[in-house]
Amino acid sequence: MRIIVIGAGIVGMATAWWLAQDGHAVTVVDKESAPGRGTSFANGAQLSYSYVAPMASPSVLRNLPKWLLKSDSPIRFVPSADPAQWRWIAQFLAACTAGRSAATTAKMLALSLHSRAMLHAMMARTPMAFDHAANGKLIVHSSRANMDDAVAQLRVQAALGCEQQALGAAECLALEPGLSSIADRLVGGIYTPSEEVGDCRKLCEELMRVLAAAPFGVEFRLGTEVRRIVVQGGRVRAVETAGGALEAELYVLAAGTGSRALGRGAGVRTNILPIRGYSITAAVRQSNLAPVRSITDTHVKTVYAPLGGTLRVAGFAEIAGEGTDIRPDRIATLVDNVARTFPGACDLEDVHPWAGLRPATPPDMPAIGRSRVENLLLNLGQGSLGFTLAAGSAKLLADLVAGRPPAVNAADFAPA
């Protein structure tokens, strides 16, 4: 079958991979000149398969008023006149109940653990160089209440297949001596030995290298912006680009936040909102002072990922429109967090700053499957977990196309 995938980020590229495995003639279209140049470019680099609890949760709701009143808050909200923003906010708040959060976590864990297996299957078939390492992840807490909540969540997730350990402060320091500068505020942490890291952009590039060659022969139309999805009689007839119309039998919309406008034009509501995040990448100059594992410091809401001789540092969630302008104060905060947490570990005079947009749905669950337009499928809304969920989301979609029973419950992620 001839299939057009709109989007060459990690979700679109993984989708192309699994569709090509089934023998489909796949074309990937993206406005950027290379794959992985949007949200996949410099994300947090963590493959966090055991940490998929939604942002829509009672704890976020409880802290939201405090965060919104602080200038250096990890969350920032800029109101707009767009009704879609307010509809999204209302649905997000409605999802912040304990029951809905727990149900979402269970569904997301099923998808994320499937995604880990599918990424490993991809890597087993074709070696790909993207600074991948299975080095584990440690989430540290500076509040006894937060630590107690984390232990309770650990017990819930243990019944769902997660292998995690609750550690005291001394055990955290024994595991990661580089945290000694914040030893005085550590209460404890949750350690997951099986978590991984990788460079998402590099994986996108590697996937293109493999897919463009035999036996797959995937066609890439990069630097080609899709202006409109042309729908007639309840079916997509073509995608309209600056270089002319492209036709196929089936179409997959996997363009991240760009899916909003394209979906709207096709009569499909994607229900995603762009949430801006920031990162810096700094060269490690003293490896004995840098973390060996992925670290999340809940006190400063910052993640650290060792990545091929560099340290990727990421944080913040801003509902502030579709721009990717880099705010100097956000970058300064990330630099300061590295300096305080891992002093002397990195070259902080020459960091590479970045900002990207996470395509988030109100309940923090992706939409995967057939839309109301007969031959248009969606694979979007993975939010901050695009890297983590990409392989599993793509395999689920490929299974639906093939008519195979998927390994996860497709109804949990079916587009509304």
Q: Using one digit for the tens of pLDDT, what is the confidence trace for 110-147?
A: 999 999 999 999 999 999 999 999 999 999 999 999 99
Task: Label residue 148 by pLDDT band (50, 70, 90).
Answer: very high
pLDDT of 71 higher than 80 = no
Taking the CB of residue 99, how many other CB atoms lie within 10 A of it?
8
Decide: helix, strand or coil at residue 67: helix
Q: How far apart are CA 6 and CA 28, in angstroms?
A: 6
| Closest to 381 (Cα-Cα) out of 4, 3, 9, 2 | 9
One domain, residues 188 and 142: yes
Mean pLDDT, residues 60-80 taken together: 84
pLDDT score, position 214:
96
Give a yes or no: residue 377 inside a domain.
yes
Residue 193's Cβ-side half-sphere holds a number of Cα atoms within 13 Å equal to: 4
Which of 360, 380, 399 is the last residue in one of the domains? 360
pLDDT of amino acid 218: 99
Q: Band the pLDDT of 277: cuts 50, 70, 90.
A: very high
| Residues 73 and 149 occupy one common structural domain | yes
The enclosing domain of 408 has a CATH number of: 3.50.50.60
Q: Are residues 174 and 227 in the same domain?
A: no
Single out the residue in 335, 360, 385 at which a domain terminates. 360
Residue-level pLDDT at 134: 97
Domain assignment present for 88: yes
Does the pLDDT of residue 73 top 90, yes or no? no
Whether 289 is in a domain gets the answer yes
Positive or negative, the CA dihedral 184, 185, 191, 193 is negative
Closest CA to 392 of 374, 409, 370: 409
Task: Give residue 68's pLDDT.
Answer: 78
The lowest-confidence range among 69-73, 156-160, 366-370, 371-375 is 69-73
**69 pLDDT band (50/70/90 cuts)?**
confident
**CA atoms within 13 Å, Cβ hemisphere of 297:** 24
pLDDT at 117: 98
Of 333, 360, 387, which marks where a domain is finished? Answer: 360
Q: Which of the four pLDDT bands, split at 50, 70 and 90, describes residue 227?
A: very high
Predicted local confidence at residue 61, as pLDDT: 86
Same domain, 306 and 385: no
What average pLDDT score do residues 80-91 get? 93
Q: What is the rounded distance in angstroms from the CA atom of residue 137 to the CA atom of residue 306?
A: 11
Same domain flag for 90 and 150: yes
pLDDT for 168 equals: 98
Answer yes or no: is 105 within a domain.
no
The proportion of the chain whose per-residue pLDDT surpasses 70, expressed as a percent, equals 100
- The reply to whether 210 and 179 lie within a common domain is no
The DSSP bridge pattern shows strands 294-297 and 302-307 to be antiparallel
Q: What is the CATH number of the domain that holds 279?
A: 3.30.9.10
The predicted pLDDT at position 66 comes to 82
Shared domain check, 353 and 210: no
Q: Using CA atoms, how far apart are residues 120 and 116, in angstroms rounded to an integer?
A: 6
More reliable by pLDDT, 65 or 339? 339
pLDDT tens readout for residues 4-26: 999 999 999 999 999 999 999 99
Give the residue carrying structure tokens 């139309």: 221
The pLDDT assigned to 196 comes to: 98
Instruction: Determine, yes or no, domain membership for 110.
Output: no
The pLDDT assigned to 64 comes to 84
Per-residue pLDDT at 200 exceeds 90? yes
How many H-runs (helices) and E-runs (strands) does the chain carry?
10, 20
Q: In this structure, is residue 106 part of a structural domain?
A: no
Mean pLDDT of 373-392: 98
Of the pLDDT bands very low, low, confident and very high (cuts 50, 70, 90), residue 228 is very high
Q: What's the rounded mean pLDDT across residues 336-342?
A: 98
Please determine, for residue 70, whether its predicted confidence score (pLDDT) is greater than 80.
no
CA dist 170 and 56 (Å) reads 32
Q: Do 170 and 23 share a structural domain?
A: no
- 85 and 173: one domain? yes
Give me the residue label for tokens 């650990």. 154
For residue 307, the model assigns a pLDDT of 97
pLDDT at 336 over 80: yes
pLDDT of residue 244: 96
Number of domains making up the chain: 2
pLDDT of 67 strictly over 90: no
The contacts of residue 69 (CB under 8 Å, 6+ apart) are: none
Q: How does pLDDT run across 291-308, given as a tens digit for each residue?
A: 999 999 999 999 999 999
* Shared domain check, 72 and 146: yes
In a domain, 211, yes or no: yes
Which percentage of the chain shows pLDDT scores above 90? 93
Q: Quick check: 72 pLDDT over 90?
A: no
Buried residues in 278-313 as b, exposed as e (16+ CB within 10 A): bbbbbebeeeebbbbbbbbbbbbbbbbbbbbebbbb
Q: Determine the pLDDT at residue 63.
A: 83
For residue 114, tell me if it sits in a domain: no
Q: Note whether 237 and 226 are same-domain residues.
A: yes
**Do 260 and 172 reside in the same domain of the chain?**
no
Q: Tell me the residue range of the domain where 347 lies.
A: 50-98+132-195+273-360
Mean pLDDT, all residues of the chain: 96
